[in-house]
Amino acid sequence: MKIDFAGFDGHGIMPYIGTGCFHRRESLCGRKYSENCSVEWNDVKDTIKGRTIDEFEEAGKLVANCSYEKGSQWGKEMGLVYGCATEDMVTGLTIQCKGWKPVYYNPTKRAFRGVAPTTLDQHLAQYKRWSEGLFQIFLSKYCPIIYGHGKIGFSAQIGHCLYLLWAPVALPTLYYVVIPALSLLHGVPLFPKVFGLWFLPFAYAFVAKTAYSLIEGLRSGNTLKGWWNFQRMWVFRRTTSYFLAFIDTVVRKLGFSETGFAVTAKVVDDDVLKRYDQEIMEFGNSSVMFTIISTLALLNLFSLSWGIKKLAFGTTFGALENLIPQIIICGLMVMVNLPVYEALFFRRDKGSIPSSVMFKSIVIASMAVLMPIY
């Protein structure tokens, strides 16, 4: 995030994300930026003087019944823009389109603190809500490519899309998690021969992306272990939160469901907090996201086991040369999912994966293994 935000700020397009932001009052009141325009708020007519207690009570009831802003420009042209689960992002976009320039400031001493999810379920639910809301913005009239045309620069439009397109990124990620594993099981090569020239572009893309990500993480003050855990969460989020957000958004756009808002729990159980402090990943329920994670983990484990078996017994290296990239991908996926295997088969605490999820995952993964590929 530090690298992303600094890059955004370099282009003058820092989006409004979450908390810890300061806004000029004029920008939230729907005004377009102008060097010659200023409002003397001390000169605004005082509407409090001369009012009775009964009038204050009625005004308070009006605010409390959630209809205070009905029929006004609040939520449309003024204040936060309503209509999606990520109102901060779309609000920042509309403010920038009115000429206001954002500035990213990240002092060494933390200026704001908050409570982050301590369980995997809460973390994935939060990212599902975010990615769903961001994708809704992209498919709405506030799409930066359309709404920002002629108002903000092209780099600003693309920069916002970097976040708005979280959900569709699930599709290529799922491809690389599922298809290489299935193809390996059936001996179908997906990549050129390892020692051929055509394999070099694939190897370069993988090594360059990984090295760049690692250097970026270390320069941001992260550790090697922290960087690897981020890669793990990157896979988990893309194959669950982003994927389900993509499906829900498409279904909602087709008119088959309505927008919902999943609230992230902030109360932490003592046992959960203890495991969190011990850096033990918390599962503990039968969420569909855990079924997806467990199924993909088992599928890659089955595929890697088959590949190693073929390498160790009887099959020549030349016959498996085309399958080596897929063996590497499955091996990396198995390494990413080590906490999942531990929660499936070895842990007995309340934070482990329930037996019902394990059973469903084994059945689905076994069906995928037995599925013929033509």
Average pLDDT, integer, range 3-7: 81
Answer with the residue of higher pLDDT: 106 or 208: 208
| Integer Rg of the chain from CA | 25
3-state DSSP assignment of residue 256 = coil
Domain-wise residue ranges, the chain? 168-221+263-370
**Would you place residue 298 in the very low, low, confident or very high pLDDT band (cuts 50, 70, 90)?**
very high
Tokens of 325: 């990239």
Average pLDDT, integer, range 329-344: 94
Average pLDDT, integer, range 96-111: 83
* pLDDT at res. 79: 75
User: What is the distance between the alpha carbons of residues 240 and 127, in angstroms, rounded to a whole number?
Assistant: 9
Residue type, 128: K
Q: Is 7 exposed, middle or buried (0-12, 13-18, 19+ CB in 10 A)?
A: middle
Contact 310, 320 (CB under 8 A): yes
Q: Name the helix (H) or strand (E) containing 361.
A: helix 355-370
Answer with the residue of higher pLDDT: 359 or 58: 359
Average pLDDT, the chain: 84
**Would you place residue 239 in the very low, low, confident or very high pLDDT band (cuts 50, 70, 90)?**
very high
User: What is the distance between the alpha carbons of residues 195 and 242, in angstroms, rounded to a whole number?
Assistant: 35
* pLDDT at res. 365: 93
At residue 225, φ and ψ (nearest 5 deg) are: -65, -40
Tokens of 360: 């469903």
**Separation of first and last alpha carbons in the chain:** 43
Number of helices (H), then strands (E), in the chain: 17, 0
Residue type, 230: F
User: What is the distance between the alpha carbons of residues 356 and 256, in angstroms, rounded to a whole number?
Assistant: 29
Query: What are the tens digits of pLDDT across the range 146-201?
Result: 998 888 888 888 888 989 999 999 999 999 999 999 998 888 888 888 888 988 99
Contact 249, 132 (CB under 8 A): yes
| C-beta atoms surrounding 170 within 10 Å | 21
CA neighbor of 266 nearest in space, from 126, 130, 133: 126
In sequence order, the 6+-apart residues with CB closer than 8 A to the CB of 337 are 232, 293, 296, 297, 300, 301
* pLDDT at res. 240: 95
Query: What are the tens digits of pLDDT across the range 55-97?
Result: 878 877 877 776 767 777 666 667 778 777 788 888 888 888 8
User: What is the distance between the alpha carbons of residues 166 and 143, in angstroms, rounded to a whole number?
Assistant: 14
